[in-house]
């Protein structure tokens, strides 16, 4: 029973983490079109900071806490290939998270040099990783 409650909290945290990871690059796409110093640009900065600090970062930490807790309750999962594959993709998600956090800082300092197209492409990476992770945990193909 505890296991199922922890799993529910894990999935809830993942939904919040992924929602933020998919929305933040979208904000960057629109931010690219806002002239430096404009009211729109300043509003995007506030939205990006709050999204990262109030949602994405805490949700990522909660996902890890509950995910690791599941492994403590069911250490047998460590022997399974799907978990290794999943954790490899999770490392990819962490890398995207780090890139987005860095990009937010460059926008905040009005020093972004990347194009809207770049952020459109980056937007697809967490989607692809998330699809792989969900297939690994639900289908457990290996």
Q: What Å distances lie between residue 92 and 41, 96, 121, CA to CA?
A: 29, 6, 15
Interface with ligand HEM, residue 6, by CB under 6 A: no
Q: What angle do CA 92, 95, 101 make, to 5 degrees?
A: 145
* Residue choice 33, 68, 95, 121 for contact with ligand HEM (CB under 6 A): 68
How far is 99 from 93, CA to CA, in rounded Å? 10
Residues touching ligand HEM, count (CB under 6 A): 19
Pair of tokens at residue 31:
């931010």
Interface with ligand HEM, residue 8, by CB under 6 A: no
* Residue choice 8, 33, 71, 121 for contact with ligand HEM (CB under 6 A): 71
Selection from 27, 91, 15, 87 nearest residue 56 by Cα = 15
Per the CB < 8 A criterion, the answer to whether 7 and 70 are in contact is yes
CA 7, distance to chain mean position in Å, is: 18
Stretch that binds ligand HEM, among 8-16, 28-36, 48-56, 98-106 (CB under 6 A): 8-16
Interface with ligand HEM, residue 134, by CB under 6 A: yes
Q: Residue 34 CB, nearest distance to ligand HEM (Å)?
A: 30
Q: Residue 103 CB, nearest distance to ligand HEM (Å)?
A: 20
- Binding site feature residues for heme: 10, 86
Interaction site with ligand HEM (CB under 6 A): 7, 10-11, 14, 18, 63-64, 67-68, 70-71, 77, 90, 93, 130, 133-134, 137-138
């Amino acid at each position: 029973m505890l296991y199922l409650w922890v799993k529910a909290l894990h999935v809830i945290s993942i939904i919040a983490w992924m929602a933020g990871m998919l929305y933040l690059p979208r904000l960057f796409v629109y931010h690219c079109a806002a002239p430096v110093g404009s009211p729109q640009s300043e509003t995007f900065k506030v939205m990006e900071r709050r999204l990262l600090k109030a949602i994405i970062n805490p949700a990522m930490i909660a996902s890890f806490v509950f995910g690791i807790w599941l492994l403590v309750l069911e250490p047998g999962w460590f022997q399974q290939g799907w978990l290794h594959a999943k954790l490899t993709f999770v490392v990819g998600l962490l890398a995207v998270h780090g890139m987005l956090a860095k990009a937010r800082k460059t926008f905040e300092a009005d020093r972004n040099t990347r194009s809207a197209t770049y952020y459109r492409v980056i937007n697809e990476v967490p989607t692809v990783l998330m699809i792989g992770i969900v297939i690994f945990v639900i289908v457990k193909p290996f």
